[in-house]
């Protein structure tokens, strides 16, 4: 069974931007709007716990953690270079009546 765990108005996330949202347990996640699509990943870098919302930069379909310059695929969460090897957890995002819904 899936459930919506976080929502944000679509108008608050412009193309090429990243924003944070929170799961019911307080876990911070990263929401992305890239190439007309919406994506969500865990906010914490899999290397040394940097926040992607605070320390990351978005370039195309990649987010870079600027602590040690790991790149991750925003779409799949895949770690694309060292020193990172673990992927980011990803979450499905649905748009319903102009609102982004992150589902688990």
Contact residues toward ligand FES (CB under 6 A) are 45, 47-48, 50, 65, 67-68, 70, 84
DSSP SS3 for 71: strand
Nearest-angstrom CA–CA distance, 34 and 44: 19
The residue count for the chain: 104
Nearest-angstrom CA–CA distance, 35 and 29: 20
Retrieve residue 99's tokens: 């609102």
The CB-of-66 to ligand FES minimum distance in angstroms stands at 8
The CB-of-23 to ligand FES minimum distance in angstroms stands at 20
| Nearer to ligand FES among residue 15 and residue 54 (C-beta) | 54
| Nearer to ligand FES among residue 70 and residue 74 (C-beta) | 70
| Nearer to ligand FES among residue 35 and residue 57 (C-beta) | 57
Backbone angles phi, psi at 80, to 5 degrees: -100, -10
The CB-of-50 to ligand FES minimum distance in angstroms stands at 4
């Amino acid at each position: 069974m899936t459930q919506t765990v976080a929502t944000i108005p679509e108008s608050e996330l412009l193309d090429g931007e990243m924003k944070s949202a929170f799961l019911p347990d307080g876990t911070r996640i990263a929401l992305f709007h890239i190439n007309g699509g919406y994506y969500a990943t865990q906010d914490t870098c899999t290397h040394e716990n940097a926040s992607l919302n605070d320390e990351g930069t978005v370039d195309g379909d990649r987010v870079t953690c600027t602590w040690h310059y790991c790149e991750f695929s925003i779409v799949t969460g895949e770690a694309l270079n060292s020193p990172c090897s673990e992927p980011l957890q990803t979450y499905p995002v649905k748009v319903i009546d102009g609102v982004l819904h992150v589902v688990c």
